[in-house]
Structure 1
């Protein structure tokens, strides 16, 4: 049965800086900052929002409400989603589908995460780990390949490191290719004020760094991070009614895939890392958008490890099977090549606050399509792709493009009063006042300036801390 869906557009985006977990800011401060910035970018208030979807991994059951109640208690539907590292993209897809299905004219997706320092691990010790089957088969395959003992490194480093090792064994790629990907991403992030790591590294420095797993050095890994990101999604009618043609970016396609039977039946370390999810989500997204990889100029890929960026080139259809390392050799993954891949620095150096990661990709891609990415801007961008993976398992591929009705007008710099691509500022009290609900706001959760519990920290120099009363 054919279905006619409404077109949907991103009219506002916002992001915090992604930072090393220190416990200085709670999740609701991070989520609120991102949401306020997205609403400021859109030029609307929370009263215009009819639906909200929130993505996070480590948190209690209604963290999204906690974040958004700081903007007002308007009674709109608020849903919370956890889909591992693709939780933010799951929230984005949920908001997009709500607008496309005609259930709302305007929706907001917010992703946020407050993480524990150190390697990613599960907090649960009294229930089955969703990755248990993956690790069991990985260790079987590794033993068959001559590794008698399981690795002692973090489980994610084991999985993606083994996938990269299989790609090298099959197709002739080398550790130098993985190191070159990591070096490229760290070079890109040096110009990104939102990035956790901003020190460029050479391929030799990446190879010579401390090993985390057999073939994985520290700069090849994404860090744990705290952060938030958000996007406001609207219908074409909403865009035109509010005269937002100067900032609207069309969502040409969103596609979601979970694991197929190849996951275990292929007995492949590459498939254990989710390659088939990427393959199927990418095919669906390109078909829905009526585009091919050659039509894309910039991409934000899920480089949780350098190995995953390498195998994703193949799975996304950027090259014939087995030729991903040739993209690296040709420089076709950076400025001056076929595609600019991870201009933000990617997860490896921008950071990886799980619930915020996918929407952080959307933030970067929207600025690229608008031509507002500052020092990170790729030339001639009309179409951008984001790719977000959560193991066991979900993959989201989104394609964004400049709409046919696009017209020049205000920019993010004029809307914010500073260049958001090249500078990160925390929100102020006046920012919050501009976008919060004018009809259904309570200062009990976010008290007025100088109110009980005022700390003046966390959200900027003049915003009361949400810790103040509740």
Structure 2
């Protein structure tokens, strides 16, 4: 029988630019300690742990967790690209919901290097080969660009050509992110910028993107304690944030046939996972008032509005121009500032989203607080591919 699952505690450290952070061991351990303190749980009560990261050798999770305690529990290391943190959360939730354990830890961290994302291995076939081959077929002029820029920029360009979306709309998304991040003490970039500032920034793709429309590499850590209802009652833990539904999806053939840049960057996974979550929970996108989504590029944020069902396909620009992505609109997107302003330490990102939404549902998000919440939606994407969508609700 499935058990109800709750987020009993969350922790997140200040994100930082590469070279300005502590080691991944220190960041991971600190995030775990913060989550344990927030939950009021002794580390000895943790029964399983799942560690999310991308750039690191095997058993990095143990290296970080051993700084907190060594109790002999299973530690599972998770690498699912940019969705590694939410994959760790998915596994922790699944373990508790199934009854395998009553208290699980999900944590993520990343110690990143400056510059564009790149593979460490050059002596073998790269991952995402299917994605790059499809992208090259539909978008040959992108060959030679940094991979993420080619894929997400190409998807944004396709949306512009199909639906008339303007580059300034992506700039407005980035400006919105900066306004939200200004109220987040844990964000890396707190300077408020305007749409005009974003448009005037360094051009990385003429007519498509400026530098500010892409999230930079950052370092950080975040964690969450997931518990069953019976465990929470036994130990007097909070049950005000419940995981109502969660789904993980990988690509289907439609992502590549026929080749489309919008499909290649995971909108199909987003749609598949979100529809499953809505059906499980008996809610729809119209019920969501706050959402932390994967805005690795401003272009992907707009595509995700459509993938999550907040607006119809092709109407993402109207959604932005009508002010429906911020306070006073239909749904507050990324009150934390998102990846664009808060930062994107790959393995920590999904758990940082959990941190933000847990505080939103608790009513403790301070200046970022979205009022009157019953639900909060999380979307975390990793190319290659994985899409994780999580719906939280008041316990």
2:218 counterpart of 1:204 = no
Deviations 1:96-152 (A, max 9, x none): 000011111101100000001111111111111112332232222124xxxxx4354
Q: Report the counterpart of residue 140 of structure 1 in structure 2.
A: 137
5 Å matches for 1:231-380? 231-245=224-238, 248-380=240-372
5 Å matches for 1:67-466? 67-143=64-140, 149-150=141-142, 152-214=144-206, 215-245=208-238, 248-403=240-395
Q: Report the counterpart of residue 439 of structure 1 in structure 2.
A: none
Alpha-carbon distance in structure 2 between the residues aligned to 1:170 and 1:99: 44
Which one is further off, 350-359 or 259-268?
Answer: 259-268
Alpha-carbon distance in structure 1 between the residues aligned to 2:17 and 2:34: 21
2:6 counterpart of 1:9 = yes
Alpha-carbon distance in structure 2 between the residues aligned to 1:71 and 1:187: 36
Q: Which runs of 5+ in 1 are unaligned?
A: 144-148, 404-470
Alpha-carbon distance in structure 2 between the residues aligned to 1:66 and 1:249: 29
Return the match for 1:65 from 62, 65, 73.
62
Alpha-carbon distance in structure 1 between the residues aligned to 2:240 and 2:356: 14
Alpha-carbon distance in structure 2 between the residues aligned to 1:381 and 1:257: 26
Alpha-carbon distance in structure 1 between the residues aligned to 2:90 and 2:389: 10
Deviations 1:181-216 (A, max 9, x none): 111001111111111111011111111111223412
Alpha-carbon distance in structure 1 between the residues aligned to 2:121 and 2:164: 39
Q: Retained in 2: the 8 A contact 1:250–1:401?
A: yes
Alpha-carbon distance in structure 1 between the residues aligned to 2:119 and 2:218: 15
Alpha-carbon distance in structure 1 between the residues aligned to 2:226 and 2:234: 14
* Cα offset, 1:334, TM superposition: 0.3
2:42 counterpart of 1:45 = yes
Deviations 1:241-267 (A, max 9, x none): 12224x531000110000000121121
* Cα offset, 1:220, TM superposition: 0.7
Alpha-carbon distance in structure 1 between the residues aligned to 2:145 and 2:205: 5
Q: Which runs of 5+ in 2 are unaligned?
A: none
Q: Retained in 2: the 8 A contact 1:151–1:213?
A: no
Q: Retained in 1: the 8 A contact 2:21–2:220?
A: no
Q: Report the counterpart of residue 32 of structure 2 in structure 1.
A: 35
**SS of aligned partner of 1:265:** coil
> What TM-score, normalized to structure 2?
0.97
- Count of paired positions: 394
Alpha-carbon distance in structure 2 between the residues aligned to 1:237 and 1:26: 36
**SS of aligned partner of 1:254:** strand
* Cα offset, 1:51, TM superposition: 0.8
Q: Retained in 2: the 8 A contact 1:153–1:213?
A: no
Greater Rg over alpha carbons, structure: 1
> What TM-score, normalized to structure 1?
0.82
**SS of aligned partner of 1:173:** coil
Deviations 1:347-378 (A, max 9, x none): 01110000000000000000000000011111
Q: 1:78 to 1:248 in 2, by over 3 A?
A: farther
